[in-house]
Amino acid sequence: MISPQSTCNATGFPAEVVESVADRLICIEPDYREHINPIQLRRMPRILRMGLASAQICLNRANNVSPDAIIVGTGLGCLDNLEKFLLEVLDHDEHVTSVLPFINSTHNAVAAQIAMLLRNHSYNITYCHRGFSFESALQDALMLIEEKQAKNVLMGGIDECTDDFMKLHGYLGYWKKPLSNLRLLADKSSGTIAGEGSAFFIISSESSPDLPKAVIEGVHTFLAPKPFDENNVAQEIAQFLQKAGTDRQEVDAVILGLNGDAVYDRSYWALRNNYFAGHTEFMYYKHLCGEYYTAGAFALWLGSVVLENQNIPDKTRLTRKSSRPIRYLLLYNHFRNTEHSLILLKNGQF
């Protein structure tokens, strides 16, 4: 996980949380020369560096397993490179001086570059579904495994924050004025802090003693009607949990996608106060990574860390500590109260 926190080289949750006073959170990037050929790095755009490095680190920790499929979710793709390519075409009277910006401008460039790096000719696909991008990639990975078309799938979510993206969405009121990310929920204004990140996972059909014991029980996405109806979301969650063979009484912890927006956070607070059982612990994470289309990837990383260590970091906790072990953990996220996603994790040790 490459994120605005020191997560890249950490095997668990970082000991210290990085505080930033800004309207966006920028990734703390590793020394790419340790993971990518320095000759290739010279002309490689930033988003490809992040994607290739996080994928390589993921594979190294999984004992360099050879993936049967490579699946990537991205909301913006290589938008910065696309802008550079189009500006070059405009500046040079519709002539192209180099094909490299064009090659690196497509949304599937990250997945393609990973395949070329690994010399992997297996199933390779990229999903670009706005707030559903990462969850769509995860659903595809689970279906491949369920249909026995793959045993090990390398999948991830990646987005980078560009200046033009900040400017254009700033006109729509997406962002807050610069403030400390650790005071995100204390600020009651509209808007949030932008973010970015690159997370990759090995989704396997078989458990291994060397890998974390997080089991994905299910993924569900849905569009919520406007105006927001709390009962509609609660019904979707109840049906999802029932299909997974459990219910809200067995959910020990919930990771909410709270982003500090006073308008769109209401759905999270409503569920916390009115739906789940009294023993359920609540967490949040977007003060650590910011808001972006594939922020659900950070939540999945955080959920797997919590299940493996059986400990909720204080900087992510919304409620008091419970002595109850964490068996079921639910991730609930939405993008501006329109695109809602649910991921249910289970501790495989129980």
CATH number at residue 226: 3.40.47.10
Give the distance from CA 172 to its chain's centroid: 23
Same structural domain, 200 and 244: no
Look at residue 180 and tell me if it is in a domain: no
Domain boundary among 136, 169, 204: 204
Sheet holding 69-73, edge to edge: 123-127, 69-73, 152-159, 197-204
Q: How confident is the model at residue 322 (pLDDT cuts 50, 70, 90)?
A: confident
Nearest to residue 18, comparing CAs of 4, 38, 7, 32?
4
* Beta strands 281-284; 251-256: pairing state: parallel
Look at residue 19 and tell me if it is in a domain: no
Look at residue 240 and tell me if it is in a domain: yes
Domain boundary among 170, 186, 204: 204
Same structural domain, 125 and 230: no
Per-residue pLDDT, 268: 93
Predicted confidence (pLDDT) at residue 291 exceeds the cutoff of 90: yes
Interatomic CA distance for residues 306 and 299, integer angstroms? 10
Predicted confidence (pLDDT) at residue 210 exceeds the cutoff of 70: no
Same structural domain, 88 and 220: no
Same structural domain, 119 and 238: no
Domain span at residue 306 reads 214-347
Nearest to residue 17, comparing CAs of 242, 292, 314, 291?
314
Look at residue 247 and tell me if it is in a domain: yes
Predicted confidence (pLDDT) at residue 227 exceeds the cutoff of 80: no
Q: How many CB atoms lie within 10 A of CB 6?
A: 14
Same structural domain, 157 and 219: no
Predicted confidence (pLDDT) at residue 184 exceeds the cutoff of 80: yes
Same structural domain, 139 and 88: yes
Same structural domain, 200 and 321: no
Per-residue pLDDT, 250: 93
Look at residue 17 and tell me if it is in a domain: no
Sheet holding 281-284, edge to edge: 214-223, 339-347, 328-335, 251-256, 281-284
Same structural domain, 247 and 116: no
Buried b (16+ CB within 10 A) or exposed e, 253-286: bbbbbbbbbeebbebbebbbeebbeeebbbbbbb
Burial (CB < 10 A; 0-12, 13-18, 19+), residue 146, is exposed
Average predicted confidence (pLDDT) for the chain: 91
pTM, entire model: 0.94
Averaged over 287-310, what is the pLDDT? 96
Interatomic CA distance for residues 131 and 295, integer angstroms? 9
Buried b (16+ CB within 10 A) or exposed e, 310-334: eebbebbebeeeeeeebbbbbbbbb
Residue 69: φ, ψ to 5°? -160, 150
Same structural domain, 227 and 270: yes
Predicted confidence (pLDDT) at residue 279 exceeds the cutoff of 90: no
Q: How confident is the model at residue 211 (pLDDT cuts 50, 70, 90)?
A: low
Look at residue 13 and tell me if it is in a domain: no
DSSP H/E element including 159: strand 152-159
Domain boundary among 147, 174, 204: 204
Look at residue 15 and tell me if it is in a domain: no
Same structural domain, 133 and 95: yes
* DSSP-derived 3-state class of residue 140: helix
Model confidence over 49-88: pLDDT tens digits?
999 999 999 999 988 899 999 999 999 988 888 888 888 8
Model confidence over 85-144: pLDDT tens digits?
888 888 888 887 777 778 888 889 999 999 999 999 999 999 999 999 999 999 999 999
Same structural domain, 200 and 241: no
Same structural domain, 137 and 272: no
Rg (CA), the chain: 20
Look at residue 260 and tell me if it is in a domain: yes
With a CB cutoff of 8 Å and minimum separation 6, the contacts of 75 are: 128, 129, 130, 131, 133, 159, 292, 293, 294
Total domains in the chain come to 2
